Amino acid sequence: MPIKSFRPVTSTRRFQTYLTREDITKDRPEKSLVEGKKRSGGRDGKGQISSRFRGGGAKKAYRILDFKRDKSGVSAKVAAIEYDPNRSARIALLHYSDGEKRYIICPVGLEVGRTVSSGPEADILVGNALPLKNIPAGTVVHNIELKPGKGGQMARSAGAQAQLVSKEGDIALLKLPSGEVRRVQIECMATVGQVGNVEHENVSLGKAGRKRWLGRRPHNRGVSMNPVDHPHGGGEGKTSGGRHPVTPWGQPTRGFKTRNNKRTDRWIVTRKAKKR
């Protein structure tokens, strides 16, 4: 999808870009697949802020997506491609031959009228979901399960894809978008193809108000605060903090490894690529 820019009649229009919506074929979601979504405002169960600078934003309804793709052997026709305010990817509405309707993440190349299916017998075509043991090495996949039957958890955002590197016994090796190579059980399901809406990462919001629509509140810097509020705060005039960047609680923020999950370390072959 092409990115649309504007004539700079205002200072914000100068930098603002939008994705054209020519790929979207339906304006309203399927009522049977929509439910209410409660907003937390970045607060936990105690009412305390656990994620700063969150709150407000446009009201959204949650679209119930089929991440498991467990309707094996039943073909479905793509009825519509829709916008989903809860994710960066587009979603596709499927009408199954038995009358059921479901939403899935829309991959690149999936169009209205196409037929998709899931299960071990499905063909290696875009939008079809199969166990990793039935997918040939080198295939690009998305919506990958970490545990059989739990539903896809990896490679679900716009433009995301993972490559099936090899299969060894009951383990498959996947190269993820971050560069990480990970072991996954060969019985886990994955969907063929790359997630659509690839140009999403190139969109420029252009103004603060558009950020507020997404539910993100203003983020003020540590160096603009007082010493009581942040380690970077205080000083005469404008100072750069006087130390390596840290969080308000003193934890380093650049290059500092925070991963602490030894339970899943054995599934990681190669860590994600370092930023240059």
- Do 168 and 132 contact (CB within 8 A), yes or no? no
**Is residue 210 assigned to a domain?**
no
**Is residue 15 assigned to a domain?**
yes
- pTM (predicted TM-score): 0.90
Residue 111 shares a structural domain with residue 236: no
What is d(CA 115, CA 6) in angstroms, rounded to the nearest whole number?
37
Residue 40 shares a structural domain with residue 90: yes
26 phi-psi bin (left φ>0, alpha ψ -120 to 50, beta other): beta
**Is residue 215 assigned to a domain?**
no
The gap between the terminal CA atoms of the chain, to the nearest Å, is: 29
- Kindly state the greatest CA–CA separation across the chain: 71
**Is residue 196 assigned to a domain?**
yes
Share of the chain above pLDDT 90, in %: 91
CATH number assigned to the domain comprising residue 87: 2.40.50.140
- Do 174 and 181 contact (CB within 8 A), yes or no? yes
Reported confidence tier of residue 2, pLDDT bands at 50, 70, 90? confident
- The parent domain of residue 249 ranges over 226-268
Residue 42 has pLDDT above 80, yes or no: yes
Region 10-22 average pLDDT: 92
Residue 259 shares a structural domain with residue 188: no
Q: With CA atoms as reference, report the closest residue to 133 among 161, 167, 174.
A: 167
Residue 188 shares a structural domain with residue 258: no
- Do 107 and 84 contact (CB within 8 A), yes or no? no
Residue 176 shares a structural domain with residue 236: no
Give tens-digit pLDDT for 228-273. Answer: 999 999 999 998 888 999 999 999 999 898 889 999 999 999 988 7
What is d(CA 200, CA 187) in angstroms, rounded to the nearest whole number?
31
- Do 156 and 142 contact (CB within 8 A), yes or no? yes
Q: How many domains does the chain have?
A: 2
CATH number assigned to the domain comprising residue 260: 4.10.950.10
